[in-house]
Structure 1
């Protein structure tokens, strides 16, 4: 849908959820609205019908009739007109009939849900990092170069990386990677916002909000497995894309370091109290075959666990085949931890 010059941003901000969204979010959404007129006596939607759109009454009056024919009159500009008509229910609980000529703004509910979800998740991140939602202070290249991950990469590799990235334009609602699909690319958000979800249907869970400078897609490339989450754009924008071969050569190989069992024993025998051994397998595997002195931090819980882990320790990560520990070591290095893989 093309941007509509007839959308009044100030009118939108009189409705929930636009009253608490950032100006950037509202501007992104404005381009997705359609402004339209209905004459008196027209049906906007019927009770029980499925509707992909949310409708906001800008001018006029609408009657909402429930199954018992009780009428709730909605008048533009009144205190009761602060939500989408029928409170944005996808399966309408009422029928909407215009009782005067009306002007409405309508938008795809999935787009609206993406942006509001990103906004709510980002509130927590903004408390931790005041610059999180500051567009003036965000530059994808600057964010990458300042990350702990890039401190591990030789300068020559960084120069090659910047040359080998390719740019891709993306739009709001576009699915970039899908959970359980095979992936061949690593992504950095050059401009825009996205949400990360896991699960499907009623089991879908939103787990993160990401924006300019954030990267994703590395887990599947390191483990040579399927994607563990879905990433959907919550705005228009652009991505910088790096293929698997370049990722392996320039990012994975210089980042993931290893230690042998013999070297670990020497460290422990010398009384190195700063070394922590963590096993990233599932609890059932860990109980069956655990290394003495190791703690279990399953890979799927690692990112959450990082919030309580101490950066002063040296972490040795183990599993069985090695792929999961490589992913874990990469994630930890990316977050500023000193982590190596144990080769068994």
Structure 2
């Protein structure tokens, strides 16, 4: 699966209800839209009552599979491809690519908001005089700001947050001007903020003893950092230094926990847990800890392996991260959710509330 395509706003005319969005409003909606390619046999979308996205088939053939014996195909040339693929799996199922496919993915909340706004404007027409002598530099700044926001909206993090959550993130950002050479975070210090690069570039210098072995990375507008230390409540494993002058947005640890962490580190209720369909249990502790005691049938997959092999984890399955890892388990759930994997965190309270005779919870 890959994505890197400029979106033509006239493409919306092919799809329902995107065609109802006025041309004048489509540039804004495109900021919350992406086109993604799926290889043969890759899952495009599966049923979820929590999804905030719509998937539209632009090119290719796909299979709508309800069960082994109940399946049908859909072509991009058919009239039914004008509807979001979610319409065909309302009660369960998976849509899988039969040929290489291109798919338009959009946050459905922005569709509704744009249509409602355009309908409102039809009854409340306001004439705005254009300032012919407007400052050209101001226009450049506006375009630049939209660039970082577009990139952030297309990030794995924003893609797995509701539109309301994304707006809360942007609303609560504290904006700080920075200069080249300024150290934003110091390795081996406690986490304090979540950061987004708005303008300028920064360099990440990782700890030689950490998971990235001293590697260096460049951060660009729209990139974010500082989240993992806040999720796991650990010290930083890297320093971040501005390479140029710029502007950053930062979110306090409390706001991060309330807005972002709460959305991606999800602990189900007892009833919800018991209704999970054959979940796979991951114990993310070190092997020597796992050997001492663990939930029967749980698999030992330390957090470092999850981080480096997350692209190989089957997205068609459901996962429960066991409680023994504590904050490491929370981080594993966060990383997996951010990668589009249905993962749940079993905290200590949930573990103690579950029936002790449950086959899922036998400790060995």
TM-score (norm 1): 0.52
Does 2:255 align with 1:251?
no
Which runs of structure 2 are paired with 1:54-65 in the superposition (5 Å)?
none
Equivalent residue, structure 1, for 2:245: 236
Question: Which residue among 199, 215, 220 is the counterpart of 2:207?
Answer: 199
Does 2:169 align with 1:165?
no
- Would you identify which runs of 4 or more consecutive aligned residues in structure 1 move more than 6 Å? 135-138
Confirm or deny: 8 A CA contact 1:260 1:342 kept in the other structure: no
Q: CA deviation at 1:325?
A: 1.4
CA distance in structure 2 between the aligned counterparts of 1:258 and 1:184, rounded to whole angstroms:
24
Which runs of structure 2 are paired with 1:272-311 in the superposition (5 Å)?
272=277, 275-311=279-315
Aligned length: 204
Which runs of structure 2 are paired with 1:43-54 in the superposition (5 Å)?
none
Distance 1:260 1:278, change over 3 A: farther
Bigger mean CA offset, 291-300 vs 280-289: 291-300
Bigger mean CA offset, 139-148 vs 173-182: 139-148
Equivalent residue, structure 1, for 2:71: none
Q: CA deviation at 1:341?
A: 0.6
Q: CA deviation at 1:281?
A: 1.3
Q: CA deviation at 1:263?
A: 5.5
Q: CA deviation at 1:241?
A: 0.6
Which runs of structure 2 are paired with 1:139-158 in the superposition (5 Å)?
139-158=147-166
Confirm or deny: 8 A CA contact 2:160 2:338 kept in the other structure: no
Equivalent residue, structure 1, for 2:221: 212
Q: Give SS of 1:197's match.
A: strand
Confirm or deny: 8 A CA contact 1:190 1:212 kept in the other structure: yes
Ranges in structure 1 where 5+ consecutive residues have no aligned partner: 1-134
Confirm or deny: 8 A CA contact 1:261 1:342 kept in the other structure: no
Which runs of structure 2 are paired with 1:59-78 in the superposition (5 Å)?
none
Superposed CA RMSD in Å reads: 3.0
Residues 208-242 of structure 1 show CA distances to partners (whole Å, capped at 9, x for unaligned) of: 43322111111121222211222223333221111
Q: CA deviation at 1:200?
A: 5.4
TM-score (norm 2): 0.49
Residues 160-192 of structure 1 show CA distances to partners (whole Å, capped at 9, x for unaligned) of: 322210222223333221222012100011123
Ranges in structure 2 where 5+ consecutive residues have no aligned partner: 1-142, 352-364
CA distance in structure 1 between the aligned counterparts of 2:341 and 2:168, rounded to whole angstroms:
25
Distance 1:298 1:179, change over 3 A: farther
Distance 1:317 1:207, change over 3 A: farther
Confirm or deny: 8 A CA contact 2:336 2:342 kept in the other structure: yes
Q: Give SS of 1:310's match.
A: coil
